């Protein structure tokens, strides 16, 4: 798609139309691949929701370099080369160079919501971990992976969400740093993804549940690969779900710091994504043959509850 944009030279009439088209591509992609997340973005003001769609699409394109069906057929050397090229492209975006529609929306987003490139480069490093790492011995190792591929999203988006002026303008207090809570929410979401996608990931030869946890509950890797559901598996999964919920709880403290127009969307996304853990329980932990999700009606019914929670500080 030719946006009529090259590097720093922009025709403003063309740019407005092209950016609208480019943001619409991002909206559709977000709506298709991240339904629960997308619902939360619709509660944001237009300028913020568009920025979040742009960041989501950048993250998804990064993930697809490793996890798309086409990528699964490529040798490690080719995947590594792809990541190197993507890293250079990302650096180019932050330098203000525009070559395609994603560059355009990301550059526009960075102009409205300036931020560091570090979380973006960290996420690419997370993808590099998948090049040769298919097992995690300890949760500490997994936590680093979760930070890189998902905790970074919290850092990317916190500037878009903004801080409540009541905190930033208070003469008696410096502005709070929401980074820790933002990272915690990203890690909570990634742990939820891991538990939901155990069956899918085993097909790729990957096991993200820490080896130390498998040993603790006496559940073997061979059983996991075979999709065995027994009492040991259920106890192991209950332990994993409890850990994910603890990370969601860590993230809650930071929501109250957010600007008023962002608290409802973030609470909605947090509560609905955490609801996937409840769905796993209702499936009796059978994530090998089922995909856990939150139904449309539950999402709709939760909106007023999330709104009420968002009003409290």
Same structural domain, 25 and 52 = yes
Same structural domain, 157 and 258 = yes
Same structural domain, 169 and 102 = no
Residue 296's pLDDT band (cuts 50, 70, 90) = confident
Same structural domain, 247 and 153 = yes
**What's the burial of 302, exposed, middle or buried (CB within 10 Å: 0-12/13-18/19+)?**
middle
Q: Rounding to the nearest 10 degrees, give the CA dihedral for residues 76, 122, 33, 237.
A: 90
Asked if 99 and 4 touch (Cβ cutoff 8 Å), the reply is no
pTM of the model: 0.88
Using the predicted structure, report yes or no on whether residue 80 has a pLDDT greater than 80: yes
CA distance 185 to 277: 14
Same structural domain, 170 and 310 = yes
Q: What total of structural domains would you count in the chain?
A: 2
CA distance 40 to 265: 5
Same structural domain, 172 and 302 = yes
- The pLDDT assigned to 173 comes to 52
Same structural domain, 92 and 240 = no
Same structural domain, 19 and 59 = yes
Same structural domain, 186 and 117 = no
Out of 88, 114, 132, pick the residue that ends a domain.
Answer: 132
Question: Among candidates 141, 104, 133, which has minimal Cα distance to 7?
Answer: 104
Using the predicted structure, report yes or no on whether residue 8 has a pLDDT greater than 80: no
CA distance 152 to 179: 10
- The pLDDT assigned to 170 comes to 53
> Which CATH number is 236's domain given?
1.10.600.10
Same structural domain, 4 and 98 = yes
Domain range for 290: 139-313
CA distance 198 to 179: 29
Asked if 96 and 90 touch (Cβ cutoff 8 Å), the reply is no
Two tokens at 52?
């979040």
The average pLDDT across 111-133 equals 97
């Amino acid at each position: 798609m030719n946006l009529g944009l090259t590097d720093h030279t922009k025709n403003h009439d063309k740019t407005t139309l092209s950016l609208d088209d480019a943001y619409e591509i991002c909206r559709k992609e977000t709506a298709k691949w991240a339904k629960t997340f997308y619902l939360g973005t619709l509660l944001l003001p237009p300028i913020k929701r568009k920025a979040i769609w742009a960041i989501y699409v950048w993250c998804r394109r990064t993930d697809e370099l490793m996890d798309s069906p086409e990528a699964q057929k490529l040798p490690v050397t080719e995947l590594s080369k792809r990541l190197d090229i993507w890293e250079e492209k990302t650096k180019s975006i932050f330098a203000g160079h525009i070559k395609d529609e994603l560059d355009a929306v990301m550059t526009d987003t960075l102009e409205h919501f300036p931020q560091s490139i570090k979380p973006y480069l960290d996420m690419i490093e997370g993808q590099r971990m998948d090049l040769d790492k298919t097992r995690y011995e300890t949760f500490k190792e997994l936590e680093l992976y979760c930070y890189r591929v998902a905790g970074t999203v919290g850092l990317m988006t916190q500037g878009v969400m903004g801080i409540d002026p009541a905190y930033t303008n208070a003469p008696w207090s410096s502005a709070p740093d929401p980074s820790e809570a933002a990272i915690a929410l990203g890690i909570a979401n990634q742990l939820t993804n891991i538990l939901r996608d155990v069956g899918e990931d085993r097909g790729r030869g990957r096991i993200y549940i820490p080896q130390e946890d498998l040993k603790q509950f006496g559940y073997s890797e061979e059983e996991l690969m075979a999709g065995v559901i027994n009492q040991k598996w259920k106890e192991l999964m209950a332990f994993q779900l409890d850990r994910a919920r603890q990370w969601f709880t860590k993230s809650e403290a930071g929501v109250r710091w957010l600007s008023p127009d962002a608290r409802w969307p973030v609470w909605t996304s947090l509560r609905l994504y955490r609801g996937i853990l409840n769905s796993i329980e209702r499936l009796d932990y059978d994530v090998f043959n089922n995909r856990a999700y939150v139904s449309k009606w539950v999402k709709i019914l939760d909106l007023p509850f999330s709104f009420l929670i968002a009003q409290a500080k």
